[in-house]
Structure 1
Amino acid sequence: MTRNEKFQIQRRTVRRDLWRRWGGVSALSPKVFFIPLYLAGAVFVWSHQDAISVQAERTELISPILEAAMTHALAAYLLAGGVALAVLLVYPFGRRAAHDQLQSIGLVNHAGMAPTLLRKRRNRDNPRVTMWEFQNQSIPLTAWEDKRAAIEAALDVSIAKMTYGKGKSRVLVYAVPAQVSLPEVLPWQDEYLSPESFVLVLGESLLGQVTVNLANIPHILLGGSTGSGKSVLLKLLLMQALRKGAEVCVADFKGGVDYPREWRQKCRMCFTEDDLLYTLDQLAAVLEYRKERLADTGCKDLDAYNEATGENPPRLVFACDEVAELLDKTGRSKEDRERLGKIENRLATLVRLGRAFGIHLILATQRPDANIIPGQIRNNMDFRVCGRAESVLSQIILDNSSAAEQIPKDARDRFITGDGTVFQGYLFDETNALGGAGGVSIQQ
């Protein structure tokens, strides 16, 4: 950027600041003033219609088009003024300001060109969200993500999502005013339970509810440091699975401290590695049985099988609150390592083949150790969520450091998904929420 360009941007910024300071209309779009001006102009032209027509007759050497326009001044004004008004209303107000701000923070291509704002409009699904559409000037989306915080400060917004538009020549920024933020606590209400087959609700983002459909995305990997609310989110998901008729197995090696009596009555609990291996063997046997049944009936997945046969075997959900601690073989005996190897193999089988047969894994970890969770397990966990975490753990869970960058250090129950959606998780009363859930058994 040249010195003259910097000076021009500074001068325009000063003028805009003066407008905001003295205009007194910061909460009201200046575009609204074009409408009364247009109507006032129409009244003026209508009241002087005769005088304009007389002037057209007296003027010599006037073009036929101009003469016709003056003779029918009101109609010409309404037509031309209407087109001009439509252009003014559609043209994104603040286009130059957005360009200057993005250029100021260095969001430019190699030629020094900053993105151009094409239009702004309200999101149909969420009126409080505004979609900014930019011509991105060959700047990759990764560069936008790297400067997310700077873009938010430059445009005075909180960004909910950034994505490509039609093709990669345009970038869509979904944002709300900087004054709008997520609440610190979101109490769970039974009405939030999704009526759809196996859709689980996690919380609310700036764009609305965040959900995951286990029928399409079968496994979930949760991460977060101690006190981030990871265990609460895990229980929220398990509670909904129980209330939707699933059978839930939970591996808890803390002696049941985190899962009191209400949970033990509803879930199958594994307190030792032998119990866990036995449970995983049963789940693997169910998988093989259902595989044969689906092959015999020619069904592609459990939903199709239920519709075809009416048998409706339940979905099975296995959860482990600290899978890294479970799979860590450091300092273990040979016998223990062999047992852990079998557990790891069972988990790998279930995570690889479970989707079609209604078997789902929800694994959580707070340990930033990439060597603990094998790649064949981690790579098959399609839906990933991370709470407050350091960069290493965020990188393990999300394959990027966005959790460390976008979630405040003191936040609780605040999470980010693999696609960059930040949300506040629901907080629920375990005793009351489990009241309508099912019991314990593993059905074929």
Structure 2
Amino acid sequence: MDAPKAADPDALLSEDALEQNARLLMTVLDDFGIEGKIVQVRPGPVVTLYELEPAPGVKSARVIGLADDIARSMSAISARVAVIPGRNAIGIELPNSVREMVPLSALLASRPFENSNARLPLILGKDIGGGPVIADLASMPHLLVAGTTGSGKSVGLNAMILSLLYRMPPERCKLIMVDPKMLELSIYDDIPHLLTPVVTEPKKAVVALKWAVREMEERYRAMSKIGVRNLAAYNKRVAEARENDETIKRKVQIGFDKDTGQPLYEEQEFDFEPLPMIVIVIDEMADLMLVAGKDVEAVVQRLAQMARAAGIHLIMATQRPSVDVITGTIKANFPTRISFQVTSKIDSRTILGEQGAEQLLGMGDMLYMAGGGRITRVHGAFVSDAEVERVVEHLKKQAAPSYMEDVTEEPSEGFDSPFIPGPSGDSGESDASLYDKAVDVVLRDRRVSTSYIQRRLRIGYNRAASLIEEMEDQSVISAPNHAGKREILVPPRDDELMPFKKPRSGPKFSFSPCPDRIGMHGFDERVFTWRAIWWRHCFLHWDPWPALMPWPRIVTQSQANRLHS
């Protein structure tokens, strides 16, 4: 990579300039009736933080609500105002007139990165004071990244990946990259860290995520056999056994003695290999949720909840942080999040739980929320495409990739993990059989809706909706009207004049519009729909008598026989 460049002297603010800006800011606050004093000024590479100690009785919400007015009065692009945790101070961040670029090469050569004890170090950038911000993906344990187009999200993702490649050899860290856009991550193809070529098809991405779940379960079984609780302890135990030329053994009960009833044990020998950590990078989550939302959400939830101990970690990025992409389930399992610039306060609340990301400056400016909920402003590291290409070419010369074909191939027996529900919980019946049953239900009950088919056939929403569409194509039912209702186009059979159903118990009922017409319809043990019989009678046998009656009479079979006689 390129050698780090010296800081631009024009980007550094002098003491006089900082003091002048602080006095101007106090004048602006006085104009809006905010009393207090500036206690500290902390210049950074992109913004300068002014710490305001408000006077007693000044509400923080009032100062935060003046962010746009402060930016206008200070002739700034934007201003971010937030309470400084743990102190009686409110931070006001104003952009510098000249931005200082934060090169990734300078952070890679910094002492904090070299001395970092992080198992999976990620370089994020510099904080307000200009210090390096290095996070540990292994302790996060998963990362959610959001940002609109042009916010620097892809560059920040490249900086994180390169920081992993610089520190972790292929035998200790493997990568699975998912790039539905086919542009951002395809440059990393054929590096030795990859378990499979960069996945660009959403359906194959779902298969790769399901493979990760199976791999997680296999690792849990292996760790339970030697009695360890996480991947680090597992690799340590395997390394010690190899160093001492020792075979890992475990006493396992195989049954009971027939004569004494005492349990029988035997020793099993295990020959385990060290397992690498796996990092799954998804560049655009919105495309996956659009193609296979239920599948992706279920698999991501499973990985986010349990994959930490197995050494599998997720980095998910999206440029559309809406609630249909970042669902409540996904958000609850990703406590560590990064938000680059977004378009609205709603998007900021979706990703971070509070506003502020809409006030960022773009080009790598981000808000980093660690697991505890504390938010830090970070200026992302910049890495050019040429630098990424040089690093990738260097890695390709070191070793060839060792791909695993089953990562993106569906297993022959199907994926039936008991821990991951299918998208709809459907049974294994054929489509033709289900379609016939659905048509029978609709014609028999004279009711049609997706939810009704779901309940009667015990299938999922997607499959029930497909059956409804197929019945519409076959002209069994009509298209939905303006209210979403459908009509049944196939008339009922003679033995299915509306739903004749046998009563569960008690006397048999018959429905008649008037006493003198009872015998015309006969009496069946089946119960007729009384409204249908009423209108049918009025249509076929019109006379003034039924028109005067508001509703048909309901009589028992014995009463009807007496009236008829």
TM-score, normalization by structure 1: 0.61
- C-alpha distance in 1 between matches for 2:228 and 2:62: 45
- C-alpha distance in 2 between matches for 1:432 and 1:249: 21
Q: Does 1:398 align with 2:352?
A: yes
- C-alpha distance in 2 between matches for 1:294 and 1:174: 50
- C-alpha distance in 1 between matches for 2:238 and 2:61: 48
* Structure 1 residue 321, shift from structure 2 partner: 1.3
Judged with a 3 Å threshold, the aligned counterparts in structure 2 of structure 1 residues 99 and 401 are, in CA distance, closer, same or farther, namely closer
**Secondary structure at the residue paired with 1:188?**
helix
Check conservation: 2:235, 2:274, Cα contact below 8 A. yes
* Structure 1 residue 284, shift from structure 2 partner: 0.8
Q: Does 1:134 align with 2:134?
A: no
Alignment correspondent of 1:374: 327
Check conservation: 2:133, 2:378, Cα contact below 8 A. no
Q: What code does the residue aligned with 1:425 have?
A: A
Q: What code does the residue aligned with 1:393 have?
A: D
Check conservation: 1:415, 1:423, Cα contact below 8 A. yes
Check conservation: 2:124, 2:378, Cα contact below 8 A. no
Check conservation: 1:233, 1:413, Cα contact below 8 A. yes
* Structure 1 residue 248, shift from structure 2 partner: 0.9
**Secondary structure at the residue paired with 1:194?**
helix
- 1:304-383 equivalences under 5 Å are 304-310=233-239, 312-329=274-291, 340-383=293-336
* Structure 1 residue 140, shift from structure 2 partner: 5.6
The structure whose residues are more often helix, as a share, is 1
* Structure 1 residue 99, shift from structure 2 partner: 7.0
- C-alpha distance in 2 between matches for 1:296 and 1:144: 58
Q: Which of the two has higher C-alpha Rg?
A: 2
Q: Does 1:423 align with 2:368?
A: no
Check conservation: 1:238, 1:248, Cα contact below 8 A. no
Choose the corresponding residue for 2:162, options 230, 235, 239: 239
Judged with a 3 Å threshold, the aligned counterparts in structure 2 of structure 1 residues 377 and 397 are, in CA distance, closer, same or farther, namely same
Q: Does 1:188 align with 2:115?
A: no
- C-alpha distance in 2 between matches for 1:416 and 1:265: 31
Check conservation: 1:141, 1:164, Cα contact below 8 A. no
Judged with a 3 Å threshold, the aligned counterparts in structure 2 of structure 1 residues 28 and 354 are, in CA distance, closer, same or farther, namely closer
Check conservation: 1:414, 1:425, Cα contact below 8 A. no
* Structure 1 residue 146, shift from structure 2 partner: 3.7
* Structure 1 residue 205, shift from structure 2 partner: 3.1
Q: Does 1:257 align with 2:183?
A: yes
- C-alpha distance in 2 between matches for 1:312 and 1:160: 49
- C-alpha distance in 1 between matches for 2:70 and 2:376: 15
**1:274-310 residue CA offsets vs partner (Å, 9 max, x unmatched):** 4223321221122112323444555443334444443
Alignment correspondent of 1:164: 85
Judged with a 3 Å threshold, the aligned counterparts in structure 2 of structure 1 residues 350 and 275 are, in CA distance, closer, same or farther, namely same
Q: Does 1:302 align with 2:231?
A: yes
Check conservation: 1:241, 1:248, Cα contact below 8 A. no
- C-alpha distance in 1 between matches for 2:228 and 2:61: 41
**1:385-434 residue CA offsets vs partner (Å, 9 max, x unmatched):** 22232114333322334222232xxx423333341514133224112233
**1:73-125 residue CA offsets vs partner (Å, 9 max, x unmatched):** xxxxxxxxxxxxxxxxxxxxx99x98775443344xxxxxx3456x54879x9
Choose the corresponding residue for 2:210, options 266, 278, 281: 281
- C-alpha distance in 2 between matches for 1:272 and 1:162: 44
- C-alpha distance in 1 between matches for 2:125 and 2:66: 26
Judged with a 3 Å threshold, the aligned counterparts in structure 2 of structure 1 residues 174 and 348 are, in CA distance, closer, same or farther, namely same
Structure with higher RCO (Cα < 8 A, 6+ apart): 1
- C-alpha distance in 1 between matches for 2:139 and 2:57: 34
**Secondary structure at the residue paired with 1:352?**
helix
Check conservation: 2:216, 2:310, Cα contact below 8 A. yes
- C-alpha distance in 1 between matches for 2:16 and 2:333: 49
Alignment correspondent of 2:199: 270
- C-alpha distance in 1 between matches for 2:123 and 2:179: 23
Alignment correspondent of 1:389: 342
Alignment correspondent of 2:435: none
- C-alpha distance in 2 between matches for 1:353 and 1:416: 27
Judged with a 3 Å threshold, the aligned counterparts in structure 2 of structure 1 residues 242 and 279 are, in CA distance, closer, same or farther, namely farther
Alignment correspondent of 1:205: 127
User: Sequence identity of aligned pairs in percent?
Assistant: 22
Judged with a 3 Å threshold, the aligned counterparts in structure 2 of structure 1 residues 361 and 26 are, in CA distance, closer, same or farther, namely closer
Check conservation: 1:102, 1:154, Cα contact below 8 A. no
Alignment correspondent of 2:148: 225
**1:55-84 residue CA offsets vs partner (Å, 9 max, x unmatched):** xxxxxxxxxxxxxxxxxxxxxxxxxxxxxx
Q: What code does the residue aligned with 1:165 have?
A: G
**Secondary structure at the residue paired with 2:381?**
strand
Check conservation: 2:288, 2:296, Cα contact below 8 A. no
- 1:49-64 equivalences under 5 Å are none
Check conservation: 2:159, 2:382, Cα contact below 8 A. yes
**Secondary structure at the residue paired with 2:326?**
coil
Q: What code does the residue aligned with 1:413 have?
A: G
**1:176-224 residue CA offsets vs partner (Å, 9 max, x unmatched):** 9x75754256353542593323220022232222332112212121222
Runs (5+) with no aligned partner, structure 2: 1-14, 240-272, 370-374, 408-565
- C-alpha distance in 1 between matches for 2:222 and 2:283: 32
**Secondary structure at the residue paired with 1:384?**
strand
How many residues matched?
330
- C-alpha distance in 2 between matches for 1:402 and 1:154: 19
Runs (5+) with no aligned partner, structure 1: 1-24, 30-93, 108-113, 330-336
* Structure 1 residue 370, shift from structure 2 partner: 1.4
Q: What code does the residue aligned with 2:121 have?
A: V
* Structure 1 residue 133, shift from structure 2 partner: 6.8
Q: What code does the residue aligned with 1:253 have?
A: P
Judged with a 3 Å threshold, the aligned counterparts in structure 2 of structure 1 residues 27 and 276 are, in CA distance, closer, same or farther, namely closer
